[in-house]
Amino acid sequence: MAIKNDIIVMKFGGTSVADAKKIKNVARKAIKAKEGGSKVVVTVSAMGSTTDDLIEMSNQITGAPSRREMDMLLSTGEQVSIALLSMAIHEKEQPCISLTGNQAGILTDNIYTNAKILSINCNRITNELKKGKIVIVAGFQGVSRQNDITTLGRGGSDTTAVALASALNAKYCEIYTDVTGVYATDPNMVQEAKKIHSLSYDEMLELASSGAKVLHLRAVEFAKKYNVVLHVRSSFDDIEGTWIMEKTNEKMERPIITGVSYDTNQVKITVHGLEDKPGIAASLFGQLAEENINVDLIVQNVSEENIATISLTVTENDKDLAKKVLQELNYKNFELDTEVGKVSIIGAGMQTHPGIAAKMFKFLGDEGINIEMISTSPIRISCIIRKDKIKSAVKALHKGFELDK
Amino acid sequence: MAIKNDIIVMKFGGTSVADAKKIKNVARKAIKAKEGGSKVVVTVSAMGSTTDDLIEMSNQITGAPSRREMDMLLSTGEQVSIALLSMAIHEKEQPCISLTGNQAGILTDNIYTNAKILSINCNRITNELKKGKIVIVAGFQGVSRQNDITTLGRGGSDTTAVALASALNAKYCEIYTDVTGVYATDPNMVQEAKKIHSLSYDEMLELASSGAKVLHLRAVEFAKKYNVVLHVRSSFDDIEGTWIMEKTNEKMERPIITGVSYDTNQVKITVHGLEDKPGIAASLFGQLAEENINVDLIVQNVSEENIATISLTVTENDKDLAKKVLQELNYKNFELDTEVGKVSIIGAGMQTHPGIAAKMFKFLGDEGINIEMISTSPIRISCIIRKDKIKSAVKALHKGFELDK
């Protein structure tokens, strides 16, 4: 691992730059970070609802906009933010410069509206940093080899920040958002929920994919791949947030379970009367995969007459498409159940502590909650239960695993 | 003179692309031009009040924005327009591509907010035209050698259009606006005013500098320098407008006087009691020039005692600065008169027809209008008169020189 530079990358989302007052607040934070002795690179998203407003404008013109022109249009949102933020920093008499994705050297492929970063040529950024400037880079955008503007798709500004932190070999990458960090569970559901001080990339990935929406999966995966230390914190106070990094010497004192997450955006599909012979399940799941339907949990039961029942879960969004696939495959005896939810416990500690699953089932059983399906990863256990039991399940697991301590 | 290509450049101002409906109208015009057999390059300004809205946003951040960041901010306005217009043309199933100033190869100096075009590398544009595409170029913007975004200042989109027409050696450059062409005089003042079919660059320059505001001086000067044929016409109908070009075989049939213009934005300054000796006037006008005050007309009278009186006119905007200069030069006996106006007749024909000035003075005299100051150029005669006589002067000259015929 290379020695880190004294550079930090700070990323602010759309709500953090939604108006002049908030932009001035971001300017203050950037200046403070620089006065703290770091070289500062700031990435920002488009202000508030700007992106939605631009999409609405394009809707008035056409129902099927060219993706290249969509990127031409949407990239203006971040360009406005960087110019205004730079002005706000100048107003405080600090040297500063704004750079578009193109100017910052962010080269992408040419998959418009969902481009991937190929490389970052940091010459311009490092030159400006050397001149003592705070450098502000437009999030979410890059440029293709053909000199066309591209955007990075959902979570694009987070990805820009992490990619910049990696390319610049930054000390860490701070993701400023409207929450104060990552919580052991949803504070809206469990009032006693505590902010997590630090967790590993894998734990964050499992939390994110199990329903916690602080960070985009893509940015965390990128951070893991390039070993970028992330710090998730609030734009609206100066309190330390949550650190996400490869676990090191902290390991001993970490709790076994890091968090409890839930997802009510699940649909359970049960297919009855399947012949229990090789290839049947393959044709079903093959066809679902073909349609890009992400199947989460799967359970198969075989009855005495060699007739199988398969249950699986998909997201609410894929419900209708999954139904269509089953009909096209001539499955007649199936049912969709939208009244389910998923509750998960996540913790790297469970790898070295056996019996965690048994504990989880006991905590749920004590509440009279029936477990319908189970899936596990090395650091996660998920259960499908009735949707109306989600809240009591989350509370019971949070209390049972002593996350309030 | 090089043989012209089959390219036409069409420029649409902010009012022509102010909403989705108007953008669709511009798309229709561009497609029609292409179906007429031309290769089409379109330049557009920012939509409606976008530029003012962006300036207002910057005002909320700082009173003294960095000019570089101002260009970063303002250039987004045109970028939104080109993306939406390109979508509107795609919607009609015509191949089309939008290009920023950078992508269009418009290289400028780095005088932010008022940059000058240094050169245009047309490779990208001509490649896209060869592929059969309509090419839409953001007006008002370019890129410096340092890869920074610049804007061209007032009338910038007109300048972009004329510069592109010159670089592409286009057949002509159409400037679409909210009026149907250039009129012999202001139709708001003289109902019978007729649209001029064609006039020379010099006539247009004199008209523009004498108060007619259809085209920016800078774009006309650029067109003259590079011999670009201009066609000024309305965005909202398909009627032929006014052609501006070097006069050729048309000369014989052209009227002697092309137009009557007026300017009520004038202030007359009279300085009494000046010693009539060399250097006195020089020190006065030298100091005014030093302060960038544009002096328009000058008259000097000498009385019997070798004491001179100088009258001059400046624009309303420069009034206070001129007053300050006079005070600093210790002139005590001077007066400012804001109740004056300037009326001008313009026509290349007056060069070969003597007696035009005498006719003008007679037409004004017949209306009882007193002429206070006079200035002339080879193709223009201007008179300073009382401001409240401007309307009757314009009407009398329009009728006298038979511009209604």
Name residue B267's beta-bridge partners.
B314
Task: Please list, in sequence order, all residues whose beta carbon lies within 8 angstroms of the beta carbon of residue B40, skipping any fewer than 6 positions away.
Answer: B7, B8, B10, B30, B33, B34, B134, B135
By Cβ distance, the residue of A61, A80, A100 closest to B84 is A61
Tell me whether residue B231 is in a domain: no
Residue of A nearest to B86 (CA): A69
Return per-residue pLDDT of chain A as tens, 405 residues: 456 779 999 999 999 999 999 999 999 999 999 999 999 999 999 999 999 999 999 999 999 999 999 999 999 999 999 999 999 999 999 999 999 999 999 999 999 999 999 999 999 999 999 999 999 999 999 999 999 999 998 789 999 999 999 999 999 999 998 888 899 998 888 988 889 999 999 999 888 776 667 788 888 999 999 999 999 999 888 899 999 998 754 555 567 899 999 999 999 999 988 877 777 778 888 888 888 888 888 888 777 777 888 899 999 989 999 999 888 888 888 999 999 999 999 998 888 787 888 999 999 999 999 999 998 888 899 999 999 999 999 999 999 999 987
Residue of A nearest to B71 (CA): A83
Q: Listing from the earlier edge strand, what are the strands of the sheet with B106-108?
A: B117-120, B106-108, B141-143, B149-151
Q: Which of A148, A167, A140, A185 is nearest to A13 (CA)?
A: A140
CATH code of the domain covering residue B297: 3.30.2130.10
Residue of A nearest to B18 (CA): A57
Range of the domain at B22: 7-178
Q: Which of A231, A238, A259, A109 is nearest to A161 (CA)?
A: A231
- The runs of H, that is alpha helices, within A188-273 are 201-209, 217-226
Q: Judge whether B157 and B17 are in contact, CB under 8 Å.
A: no
Name residue B334's beta-bridge partners.
B271
| Res B212: pLDDT | 65
- Token representation of residue A169: 């070999």
Mutate to test the interface with B, among A55, A70, A80 (most CBs of B within 10 A): A80
Q: Judge whether B75 and B47 are in contact, CB under 8 Å.
A: no
A9 min Cα distance to partner chain B (Å): 21
Question: Letter for the amino acid at A53?
Answer: D
Last residue of a domain, one of B126, B157, B178: B178
Q: Which residues of A touch B76 (CB under 8 A)?
A: 76, 79-80, 83
By Cβ distance, the residue of A20, A60, A82 closest to B60 is A20
Give the rounded distance of the alpha carbon of B204 from its chain centre.
Answer: 9
Whether B22 and B153 map to the same domain: the answer is: yes
Tell me whether residue B200 is in a domain: no
Whether B44 and B139 map to the same domain: the answer is: yes
Q: Which residues of A touch B106 (CB under 8 A)?
A: none
A51 min Cα distance to partner chain B (Å): 12
pTM of the model: 0.84
Q: Are the beta carbons of A80 and B83 separated by less than 8 Å? A: no
Tell me whether residue B405 is in a domain: no
Whether B282 and B387 map to the same domain: the answer is: yes
Tell me whether residue A299 is in a domain: no
| Each residue's pLDDT tens digit, B367-402 | 999 999 998 888 899 999 999 999 999 999 999 999
CA separation for the pair B9, B161 (Å, rounded)? 6
Q: Which residues of A touch B72 (CB under 8 A)?
A: 79, 82-83, 86, 98, 100
Q: Judge whether A83 and A92 are in contact, CB under 8 Å.
A: no
Whether B167 and B302 map to the same domain: the answer is: no
Tell me whether residue A63 is in a domain: yes
Q: Rounded to the nearest 10 degrees, how much is the dihedral formed by the CA atoms of A270, A274, A276, A282?
A: -70
CATH code of the domain covering residue B146: 3.40.1160.10
Backbone phi, psi, residue B392, to 5°: -70, -30
Q: Are the beta carbons of B87 and A62 separated by less than 8 Å? A: yes
Secondary structure of residue B241 in the 3-state scheme: coil
| Res A87: pLDDT | 98
Size of interface A-B (CB pairs under 8 A): 111
A161 min Cα distance to partner chain B (Å): 20
Q: State the angle between helix axes of B67-91 and B50-61 in degrees (0 to 180), rounded to the nearest 10.
A: 150
Query: Distance of CA A78 to CAs A36, A47, A220, B32, Å?
Result: 27, 7, 22, 35
Residue of B nearest to A71 (CA): B83
Tell me whether residue A291 is in a domain: no
B216 min Cα distance to partner chain A (Å): 27
- Token representation of residue B232: 């000024």
Q: Are the beta carbons of B147 and A65 separated by less than 8 Å? A: no
Q: Name the percent of chain B in helix, strand, coil, to the closest 5.
A: 40, 25, 35
Q: Are the beta carbons of A23 and B90 separated by less than 8 Å? A: no
Q: Which residues of A touch B66 (CB under 8 A)?
A: 86-87, 90
Q: Is residue A315 classed exposed, middle or buried when 0-12, 13-18 and 19+ CB atoms within 10 A define those classes?
A: middle
Q: Judge whether A94 and A132 are in contact, CB under 8 Å.
A: no
Residue of A nearest to B102 (CA): A147
Beta strand extents in A94-205 (DSSP E only): 96-99, 106-108, 117-120, 134-138, 141-143, 149-151, 172-177, 198-199
Last residue of a domain, one of B178, B210, B235: B178
Tell me whether residue B273 is in a domain: yes
Q: Are the beta carbons of A57 and B80 separated by less than 8 Å? A: yes
CA separation for the pair A204, A228 (Å, rounded)? 13
Res. B249: pLDDT tops 70 = no
Q: Are the beta carbons of A72 and B82 separated by less than 8 Å? A: yes
Q: What total number of domains does chain A contain?
A: 1
Tell me whether residue B267 is in a domain: yes
Q: Which of A147, A70, A171 is nearest to A114 (CA)?
A: A70
- What residues of chain B have any CB closer than 8 angstroms to a CB in chain A? 19-20, 23-24, 54, 57-58, 60-62, 64-66, 68-70, 72-73, 75-76, 79-80, 82-84, 86-88, 90-91, 97-98, 100, 102-103, 124, 147-149
Last residue of a domain, one of B178, B198, B231: B178
Mutate to test the interface with A, among B62, B99, B148 (most CBs of A within 10 A): B62
Instruction: Quote the Cα angle for B183-B184-B190, to 5°.
Output: 90
Q: Are the beta carbons of B73 and A79 separated by less than 8 Å? A: yes
CA separation for the pair A136, A80 (Å, rounded)? 12
- The runs of H, that is alpha helices, within B92-216 are 123-130, 156-167, 201-209
Q: Are the beta carbons of A87 and B69 separated by less than 8 Å? A: yes
Q: Judge whether B155 and B43 are in contact, CB under 8 Å.
A: no
Q: Which of A181, A187, A179, A184 is nearest to A346 (CA)?
A: A184
Whether B167 and B267 map to the same domain: the answer is: no
CA separation for the pair A8, A164 (Å, rounded)? 10
